[in-house]
Every structure is written in C-alpha cells, then in structure tokens.
Homo-oligomer: A and B are copies of this chain.
C-alpha cells in the first residue's frame, strides 16, 4: 500500500504514518494539495495529512483541500505532539514550523531570549536548516537525531498539544465510524447557521468541531466545516443531515470514519 503524506521525511505526519502503518510505503509530497492530488489520480492508494492541532487550530490547506476533493476521510488519528529544542545553544535563529514556534514560544523566550524565531515550512525542514547553518530549531526528537543535533530542551511545548491527522481515499468506512464530517455553504440571511444546526440539536447530535473558512468566490462568505459524533448510518444522524441539507446551499459529506488515539 502506497500512502502520500505531507513531507519531507521525519515530519510529524511521516512519523505518525509509520507508527500507524509500519508495512505501508510512505510517499512524501511537498504540499497537502499535492498529497491529495496523488491519491485522486491513483498514483498512490491514500493520502495522510494533518487536520487540526489542539493548540493552534485547523490546518487551512487541509480544510481548503477537503472542500475541493472527491476523496473521503476514512480514518482520523489523534497523537500527542512532543517538541524538543535542538541544535546550537548559542544560535541567533530558531527555525520551526509556525505552529511549533507558537507552541514553544514561552520556552524560547526563557531559554534563548536573544534568538529570533524563523518560520520554516515543516519541523523536519527546520531541523535540516538548523544543522546546515549551525543554528537551533523546534522539532521532533527523531528529526533532531536524524540531523545529529544536540537536544537543548525536552517537551518545550504545552502538555495539551495534540494533533489530529486524517487518511483520505475513495471509500470511507461508515460501518465502524466514530465521527462524521461535512462542509456546507449556507444562505446569506439572518439565522442561517442557527437553522442549519437545528436538526442536529433536535436529534441530540454532538458537534466535535466547527470551523469556518472564506468561500473564496465571494468576499465575507464562509464555508462551514463540522464534525459530529457517530456514523452517518446512525438513523438520528442520517435524519438530521437530510434536514440540514435542505437548509443549506450546498452540503458535502466528507466521510464517516473511526477515531484512533495513538499512545506514543
């Protein structure tokens, strides 16, 4: 099984994927959009990308890709993110993914007050840059080790730092599903969101995520991304979604899928 993921190697996405499917062949992609395209065009079987972080919120590229793709979410995996600071203790730059820099900002202020945080496209690229330029970075322990960087601090981010990753493929997995996700565009009038949520509330559906993103075709219009507990094969959820659909301009089910918690 070939699975495209947001690379490069030693990114958190890569690490999580290899823990989840040690037998699969991971195929690095330079962007989330590209990982999804590889799966859509059949060059790989599935795509594995980050969805949201408990500290920094959603990954916008993923939400935007979900609105456009015809693939479905077939699995969601939650994993605690442990960050280390690594590299040159006298560095004047600390490289890191913007989310990792934000999560470690208190540690950086306390322990490396003279260093400037510099955003990098991924934690693994941050580690490569730190190694090449004799600077420091915020990354995973594996990325630090792969680049022979000295560990300057352990667990430099907040404790409640979890990331949820999703697996995308043509088929989803409604029979064993814990969650269902959708994206919708609502009419532009007072109470539209309220009326859309009403059938879900009436059927006692528990929302586990709600985000909005600009609908890029029209300024200040939004796409709504919702995730709820339960499968769309559950009769209450099926009824609620059927009614909610009539109160939207567009409603697309992104999938019903199991939620798995990785312990390491």
State whether A214 touches B56 (Cβ < 8 A). yes
State whether B190 touches A204 (Cβ < 8 A). yes
Q: Which of B193, B210, B216, B219 contacts A222 (CB 8 A)?
A: B210
Asked if A153 is at the interface of the complex by the 8 Å CB criterion, the answer is no
Instruction: Mark A215-235 against chain B: 1 for CB-CB distance below 8 A, else 0.
Output: 011111010000000000000
Contacts of A211 in B (CB 8 A): 211-212
Q: How far is the CB of A166 from chain B (nearest CB, A)?
A: 15
Docked complex Cα distance between A212 and B56 (Å): 11
Copies in the complex: 2
Docked complex Cα distance between A119 and B119 (Å): 7
Given contacts A160-B216, A214-B54, A222-B210, contact A190 B194 (CB under 8 A): no
Asked if A191 is at the interface of the complex by the 8 Å CB criterion, the answer is yes
Residues of A contacting B: mostly: mixed
Asked if A200 is at the interface of the complex by the 8 Å CB criterion, the answer is yes
State whether B214 touches A53 (Cβ < 8 A). yes
Contacts of A213 in B (CB 8 A): 57
State whether B218 touches A160 (Cβ < 8 A). yes
Q: Which of B54, B193, B194, B212 contacts A219 (CB 8 A)?
A: B54
State whether B158 touches A216 (Cβ < 8 A). yes
Contacts of A222 in B (CB 8 A): 210
Q: How far is the CB of A104 from chain B (nearest CB, A)?
A: 14
Instruction: Mark A36-52 against chain B: 1 for CB-CB distance below 8 A, else 0.
Output: 00000000000000000
Q: How far is the CB of A207 from chain B (nearest CB, A)?
A: 7
Asked if A205 is at the interface of the complex by the 8 Å CB criterion, the answer is yes
Task: Identify the closest chain B residue to A121 (Cβ).
Answer: B119
Q: How far is the CB of A224 from chain B (nearest CB, A)?
A: 8
Task: Identify the closest chain B residue to A118 (Cβ).
Answer: B121
Top 4 A-B pairs, shortest CB-CB distance = A191-B201, A194-B201, A54-B219, A194-B197
Other contacts beyond A56-B214, A57-B60, A191-B201: 8, CB < 8 A:
A54-B216, A54-B219, A98-B119, A190-B201, A190-B206, A193-B197, A208-B220, A210-B222
Listed by A's residue number, 29 A-B pairs whose Cβ atoms lie within 8 Å are A53-B214, A54-B214, A54-B220, A55-B214, A55-B216, A56-B60, A57-B60, A57-B212, A57-B213, A98-B98, A119-B119, A119-B121, A160-B217, A160-B219, A162-B219, A189-B206, A190-B201, A190-B205, A191-B197, A193-B207, A194-B194, A194-B200, A194-B201, A197-B197, A209-B220, A210-B212, A210-B222, A211-B212, A212-B212
